[in-house]
Every structure is written in structure tokens, then in C-alpha cells.
Amino acid sequence: MKSRINNLLKWAGIISAIIFLALKYFKGAENIWDYGGLAGEAAGYSSILVLLYEKWIWRYNPLIKIPKLKKEYSGLLKYNYDNIPGEKDIDIIISQTLTNINIIIKTDEIISNSITSELIEENNQYVLYYTYLTQPKSQFSDKNPMQYGSSKLCIDNEDEFHGIYWTTRETKGDIYFKSI
């Protein structure tokens, strides 16, 4: 992720320079104040372009190889708590930009929100690591209290992927995602 941010900043500088030169050519500059004004204007235009790129346009760039995850997935959570296995249907909402991923998982008992996340290439495969905090609905807070967890998701396919998770309550299990 750090390299994506560095590349984005590098391109922001290049775009600013190009816009500055174009503004200088079309508007002209006679003194230092004119150059300062053109520099500020170029920085403003390039900031807008970079923000649009980082939020949406990067998805259409064929040179960016990171998985472009869908917005919504349905899934299955297979868990083991106190040596008692179980399954639970889950809904997953993923918000992804070029430099950030946020994951929300909803069940009938809890909502969990990612705290940190990182999509990395590991052994020629993309893996999404994230940590999260669960927020139980009040009626389940005694049985299933707030907890922290981590997950490792192997993304072989952007429409369907799987992984493992573990929590501070020593619950662990498998997660299966399928795009809606």
C-alpha cells in the first residue's frame, strides 16, 4: 500500500507540473506573484484529479493489477467456539479505493468494522489481511460480547474468495465470500 501512495504522490507532482506549464502558456506570467498564483491553481486542479483517480478512476486502469473488489458479498462463516462448531450467514460490504479498504461484516448478532487492512501480494497471490472490532446487538452482548479479531483472505477470484479468522475470545473459523 505504501508504494501505491508513493506512486500516487509522484504522479500528483508530475500532473501539477504539466498543469502549471499549460497555465503558464495560456495565461502567461509577468512576476513572482503570477507564478505563485499559477502554482496554486495547478496544485488545486491536480489535487482534484488525483482525488478522483484514487477514489474511482484507478479501477479502469489496466496497469493496476490489484484485485478490484466488489461492493457487496454474501458469505458463510464457519466457526468453532469452545470446541462447538457452527455456521452463520453473513453479509459483507467492502469499500475500496486505490489506497484504502474498509470491510464491514453483518450477522444476525453483530456488526464488525475493520480497523486496519492491507491488500498485499504474497507468493504470487493477493491476500487481504485485516483486523476488526465487533459490535454486538444489545440482546446478544452478554453471549457474544465486543471483541477484536483478525482475518486473512486469499483472493484468487474477485467474485468469490475465502479465508480464515480468529478473535480475542478464541473463536476461530473459515469465511467464504461470494459477490451478490
Q: Is the pLDDT assigned to residue 44 strictly greater than 80?
A: yes
pTM for the structure as a whole? 0.84
CATH number of this structure's domain 72-179, picked from the four choices 2.40.160, 2.50.20, 1.10.3470, 1.10.357 = 2.40.160
Could you tell me the residue ranges of all domains in the chain? Answer: 2-60, 72-179
Specify the pLDDT at position 1: 61
pLDDT tens, 131-150? 999 999 999 998 889 999 99
Give, as one character, the DSSP assignment of residue 109: S
Q: Is the pLDDT assigned to residue 2 strictly greater than 80?
A: no
* Secondary structure (DSSP) of 36-84: HHHHHHHHHHHHHHHHHHHHTGGGG-TT--S----SEEEEEEEEEETTE
Q: Distance between CA atoms of 7 and 2, rounded to whole angstroms?
A: 9
Specify the pLDDT at position 86: 94
SS3 content of the chain, % helix, strand, coil (to 5): 30, 45, 25
User: What average pLDDT does range 112-123 have in this prediction?
Assistant: 95
Specify the pLDDT at position 42: 94
Q: What percent of the chain has pLDDT over 90?
A: 81
pLDDT tens, 147-176? 999 999 999 899 999 999 999 999 999 999
